[in-house]
Structures are given as structure tokens and as C-alpha cells.
Amino acid sequence: MRGHRPHTRERELRQSSTEAEQRLWYLLRDRRLKGFKFRRQHKIGPYYVDFDCLRARLVVEADGGQHAARASYDAARTHYLEWKGFRVLRFWNDEVLGETEGVLDAVLEGLLGRG
């Protein structure tokens, strides 16, 4: 059974997703990548991650230009997620849009523990 906390923030993040996040979600949802189940805009501790696969303990982030100015915040966030046992893969939005197959290959490698 799901917890009783409100999911307002997750809904807001889903509704304001970038084109790169939308494309990645289309490719990851419904177990489309080798049967792995992903969730999007899910809260892990104090942070909301773009996508996560609990079975593989993998977080996938699609970062826009604003992340260049938030490097220390992103580093602390990654450190926390790794401390919680997750591996974090980060891709720039233009990578997701322009090199989609390469991004999916890297995600698959991460899922299989080879990347």
C-alpha cells in the first residue's frame, strides 16, 4: 500500500517536464527497456529524482543548462543518493535528444551493472 503523504510536488514536476525528460520517459516507461520498471519524479529522501529503477538501484537524471550553475548542489545530491545505495547516471538534455540510442545503451549498462 502506498504511503499517505501528498504527491503534489511529483505531479507538478511531471507536468513541467522538459522535452528530454518526456522522451526518456517514453522510452523507459511500461518496462520498455529490457523489462526494467522505472518510476519518474519520485522522492528519495529529501530529493526528487527524474527516474529510478529500484530493482537495479539506479537513478537517471536528465540535466538542463541550469545544472551547470548548481554543480555543488548536484554533487551533494549524488553523494546522498549513492550513500542510500543508488548509482546515479546524469545526461545533458541535448544528449538525450541528440544521442538517444547512446543514452539508452548507457542506461542499460547501468541497469546490468556493467557501466
Give bridge partners of residue 48 from the DSSP assignment: 43
Report residue 74's pLDDT band, with 50, 70 and 90 as the boundaries: confident
Third-level CATH fold of 21-111: Endonuclease; Chain A (3.40.960)
pLDDT at 58 over 60: yes
Mean pLDDT of the chain: 87
Residues with Cβ within 8 Å of 25's Cβ and at least 6 positions away in sequence, in order, are: 17, 38, 40, 51
